[in-house]
């Protein structure tokens, strides 16, 4: 009777270890995917920031050219 109880406890613990191992594996995959998405978002954000800066420079140059042409007129 005692050995059956010990076997049940051992089986329960073994199942728990297996479940935890599976959860850990799934969470590591999820973490990896999240890190990839974060990297992609950072890259896109950097590109958007550079594009915005380029546009702002072009706008500033256009404004200066407009002011200069208005002064000439």
Residue-level pLDDT at 21? 98
- pLDDT tens digits, the chain, 73 residues: what are they? 888 899 999 999 999 999 999 999 999 999 999 999 999 999 999 999 999 999 999 999 999 999 988 887 7
Spatial distance between the Cα atoms of 66 and 59, rounded to a whole number of angstroms:
10
Cut 0.75: pTM above it? no
How far is residue 1's CA from residue 42's CA, in Å, rounded to a whole number? 61
Cα 73 to Cα 67: distance, rounded to the nearest angstrom: 10
Cα angle 31-32-35, degrees, rounded to a multiple of 5: 85
């Amino acid at each position: 009777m005692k050995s059956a109880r010990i076997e049940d406890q051992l089986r329960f613990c073994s199942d728990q270890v297996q479940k935890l191992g599976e959860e850990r594996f799934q969470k590591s995959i999820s973490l990896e995917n999240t890190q990839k998405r974060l990297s992609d978002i950072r890259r896109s954000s950097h590109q958007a920031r550079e594009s915005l800066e380029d546009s702002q420079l072009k706008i500033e140059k256009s404004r200066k050219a407009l002011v200069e042409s208005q002064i000439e007129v």
